[in-house]
Amino acid sequence: MIQSKKIIEKIKNKYILLTKQPSLWLNNNLLYYSSHLFLIPLFVYIILIKKTRFQTILFSALYSNFIFSIAFWYNPIKHSMVHKIDAIAARTSIILMLIYTLSLRNLSFYMLFWYFLNIITMLFFFYMSNVFSSNKWCCVPHIICHFMSHIFASIGVFFIII
């Protein structure tokens, strides 16, 4: 009985430690490397034969978003100039993506459904990332939610090129 209490206490302490202070790898590297996911749709765009002017503008914005994202997550200092530029670049890319997909793309109802589901999920994770980072900067829930938003944002870009 005493042994099981010690084990439970160890697990609780490790969980508390994880939620209070992420490991150095999780803090500095997860979002830095997940920012590289934006390169996948960029490479697909590069090999496409047909490109529209708006797609070129959009992918230029996405590339700048990638650059600012890795610059910020390499050394994530809250409210730094790089943080502010990264936030502006991300919001600009999302707005351009929505404008292009909703006004210039002719997606089927089925594809539009999956696109909106992806966008809503991405925005949910961005919102939760903001909530968690407001409570404690770079805590584990903040990092994980922001990581998930990077994944869904990268998936959302594919709706532009399919």
pLDDT of residue 159: 85
pLDDT of residue 24: 46
pLDDT reading at 49 higher than 90: no
Structural tokens at position 159: 């709706």
pLDDT of residue 126: 96
User: Whole-number mean pLDDT of the chain?
Assistant: 85
- Classify burial at 59, counting beta carbons within 10 Å of its beta carbon; exposed 0-12, middle 13-18, buried 19 or more: buried
Structural tokens at position 100: 């292009």
**Residue 160 CB partners (closer than 8 Å, separation 6+):** 41, 55, 58, 97, 100, 101, 105
**Residue 21 CB partners (closer than 8 Å, separation 6+):** 139
Return the domain boundaries, the chain: 23-161
CA 94, CA 69: separation in Å to the nearest integer? 14
More confident residue, 81 or 14: 81
Instruction: Average the pLDDT over each of 20-24, 48-52, 157-161 and give the range with the smallest value.
Output: 20-24
pLDDT of residue 9: 64
pLDDT of residue 50: 79
Element (H, E) at 27: none
% of residues, the chain, pLDDT over 70: 83
pLDDT of residue 104: 83
CA 90, CA 77: separation in Å to the nearest integer? 17
CA 130, CA 146: separation in Å to the nearest integer? 8
pLDDT reading at 6 higher than 70: no
pTM for the model: 0.80
Q: What is the pLDDT of residues 68-124, one digit of tens each?
A: 999 999 989 999 999 999 999 999 999 998 998 888 888 899 999 999 999 999 999
